[in-house]
Chain A
């Protein structure tokens, strides 16, 4: 009776390995939050004392406020543009009759996979010639290139889950293609579009490389400011900023999860 003996050891071993690996995933979040409430100048862990002075210093520094505003001014249009382009591309690939639909799909997804630094040094001269360098528009365009594949993927998944014949039925009954889209197709894929928009926003909100090349002193984003501050000095101010950014991202994640869960309810069949 050898195998059951091995299993008795193996099963708890796998379980504890997985538990440790999952704990490892949580470490960075568990380090930053306590650090941001430290009373000391220097980064020590465990932090000594409790203080909210780093948050006060953060709020008093216009650089952080500006960077946060820039991140929103760049992130929101990126999300909207990504939703439009992602939905158009997904409709063409899933509902269309393109012979090279597979190629088109991998072309759309490609910017997500390629190292951002290649795109960054390529877009720099293009934006320079267009007179857009260091403007918000440059960052919005660049972030949309890497963000709209995310919307494309989520909308494509929604479209595959909904029946294309319904649009045809609506048009047979006299609806224009425009009406058929807004009354039939869009309600079915709305969660996919929304989640895609949130993902595109989140990717823009976290993007560093393109921002390093394409934004300037007045248009720099939060990741870029974090990056610049980090190379200069390490204080708990960065931890305070990081904690707020993480909290904001968690709200976004929650929103995405809630949106994705909704459509599952009416159709109980798995």
Chain B
């Protein structure tokens, strides 16, 4: 982080001290419009409607709320795993590609990132609905064999939620993976080959371990962002596959039960911070350099 070495001349030191002051405006902005609101959420969870732990007791006593919390973590875990399984081969190809091939793969990865999340969830609705692309497609294939097809009801359902969420999170897995794979020295693979390893061995024993920082960064990013998903589960999941963000929005915006919404939000905040802490511990770095959009 620090550009100035201890032994650097006085002018450079004074200049870097002056740069420190520039943080005041962003820090003030974050304090008022980020940290203060978060603190109010945490405080409110203990005092609204009455001081005490009533909101948390209500959550612990309700199978419905516990089910939503469990479902949130489970969905985030499944999405992270699927993103890793699908994203790793794509990242592998992308990290090795050059020229036109690289540009095509990169464009295919980045274009969805720039397509509105609301719009993409809407598109999956069109795909999965009763007379949607998928059911019509299956029907067409079945008709070729002279069979009839009663449309399968995908909506609302876990399959649609997973497909929609993986689609949104996949680029956030691929980009950190590519970044770490590009840092791997190719000569190590060649050295392994010279020393008698076959390509599969040298992948498993050399390349895979060296790409683990990317796996950790991508997984932490995807897991954290998946925990807070709203649009996709609300649109494709229905009440049986509800996630925390949907429940919080419902409690606050529609039922005006702000105390309970704040308690749920505090729990969500704690889980997210825990994941971040674990990741930071494992990798020794923040996510600042790994994420980003383009």
Contact = CB atoms under 8 A, between A and B. Distances in A.
Interface of A: 3, 6-7, 10, 14-15, 17-18, 21-22, 24-29, 31-32, 35, 42-46, 84-86, 88-89, 91-98, 101-102, 104-126, 141-142, 144-145, 148, 150, 152-154, 156, 164-165, 167-168, 171-172, 177, 195, 199, 202-203, 205-206, 208-209, 212-213, 223, 226-227, 230, 234, 238-239, 242, 245-246, 249-250, 252-253, 256-257, 260
A96 B17 contact: yes
Given A14-B89, A31-B126, A249-B114, A121 B252 contact: yes
A246 B41 CA distance: 35
Instruction: Point out which of A26, A168, A234 has the most chain B C-beta atoms below 10 A from its C-beta.
Output: A168
A119 B294 contact: no
7 contacts: A88-B22, A92-B22, A96-B20, A105-B286, A119-B38, A206-B117, A242-B116
A108 B26 contact: yes
What does DSSP make chain A's interface, helix, strand, loop or mixed?
helix
A171 B15 contact: yes
Given A6-B200, A115-B268, 11 more contacts: A21-B89, A22-B108, A28-B124, A111-B30, A113-B221, A115-B227, A118-B268, A125-B44, A152-B26, A199-B292, A208-B117
B269 A153 contact: no
B1 interface: yes
Given A144-B29, A172-B11, A199-B294, A230 B122 contact: yes
A104 B11 CA distance: 24
B288 interface: yes
A121 B122 contact: no
Interface of B: 1-4, 11-13, 15-23, 25-27, 29-30, 32-34, 36-41, 44, 86, 89-90, 92-93, 105, 108-112, 114-120, 122-127, 129, 131-133, 136, 167, 170, 198-200, 221, 224-225, 227-228, 230-231, 235, 244-245, 248-249, 252-253, 258, 261-262, 265, 268-269, 272, 276, 280, 286-289, 291-294
B22 A25 contact: no
Given A22-B108, A116-B228, A117-B230, A212 B253 contact: yes
B26 A85 contact: yes
B249 A95 contact: no
Given A123-B33, A226-B122, A88 B200 contact: no
A6 B234 CA distance: 44
Contact of A45 (B17, B126, B269): B126
Nearest to A172: B11
The 4 A-B residue pairs with the shortest CB-CB distance, nearest first, are: A115-B228, A122-B37, A28-B123, A92-B23
Contacts, number: 298
A22 B90 contact: yes
A208 B116 CA distance: 10
Nearest to B125: A234
A114 to B, nearest CB: 6
A109 B122 CA distance: 29
Contacts of A14: 89, 92-93
A43 B126 contact: yes
B265 to A, nearest CB: 4
Contacts of A153: 288-289, 291-292
Contacts of A96: 16-17, 19-20, 22-23
Instruction: Point out which of B26, B117, B227, B230 has the most chain A C-beta atoms below 10 A from its C-beta.
Output: B26
